[in-house]
Amino acid sequence: MSTFYYFIQSVPECMGLIALSLAFAQVPLCWGRIFLGGALLSLLTFGIRALPVTFGFHLPISIFVMFLLIVKLTKAPPSRAIIAVFSSFFALALLELMISNVYFAFTHMTYQQAIEHQASWAAVGVFQAFILNIIALIVARFFKSTRRAWKI
């Protein structure tokens, strides 16, 4: 995937991951901070994926970085932060599976064909990121955030 399409899809997806993790950790959603974190996490994963390391290595690094950010920048306890981060990644995996299956069923494409159509594949990723952010807003509504949960 080209760099442009990667970041178009990746930044909102990383924002959704961070927002959902914060919602699960009962931290108020501050969208400026979430955007900054999403952009930085997206840059980090892009850099890791560009390295000659095993495919998927960016996933445990992303989980660890998100955990550290939540623990260091909020008053969420580490136990709640790790559960929140893993829960948000699980939600992303489930959402990715469902949306990809629906996309493949409607377009009758294979995975390889879908990747070759970068614009449509990025559009699917943006749609997925949009849904993830909506889920974060819904979760934040049910898991009431504690006041003054941010350290900064």
How many angstroms separate the CA atoms of 151 and 74, rounded? 5
In a domain, 148, yes or no: no
Write out pLDDT tens, residues 15-68.
999 999 999 999 999 999 999 999 999 999 999 988 888 888 889 999 999 999
How many angstroms separate the CA atoms of 42 and 21, rounded? 16
Q: How many CB atoms lie within 10 A of CB 57?
A: 13
Instruction: Show Cβ contacts of residue 148 under 8 Å, excluding neighbours closer than 6 positions.
Output: 75
Crossing angle of the two packed helices 78-107 and 118-142, in degrees rounded to 10: 140
In a domain, 147, yes or no: no
In a domain, 24, yes or no: yes
Q: Name the amino acid, one letter, at 128.
A: Q
User: Helix or strand or coil: residue 117?
Assistant: coil
Write out pLDDT tens, residues 6-23.
899 999 999 999 999 999
**Who has greater pLDDT, 117 or 19?**
19
User: Helix or strand or coil: residue 33?
Assistant: helix
In a domain, 150, yes or no: no
In a domain, 61, yes or no: yes
Total-model pTM: 0.91
Domain range enclosing 17: 3-142
In a domain, 48, yes or no: yes
In a domain, 152, yes or no: no
Please give the mean pLDDT across all residues of the chain: 91
In a domain, 149, yes or no: no
Residue from 76, 120, 96, 100 nearest 17 by CA: 96
Q: How many domains does the chain have?
A: 1
Tokens of 70: 């939540």
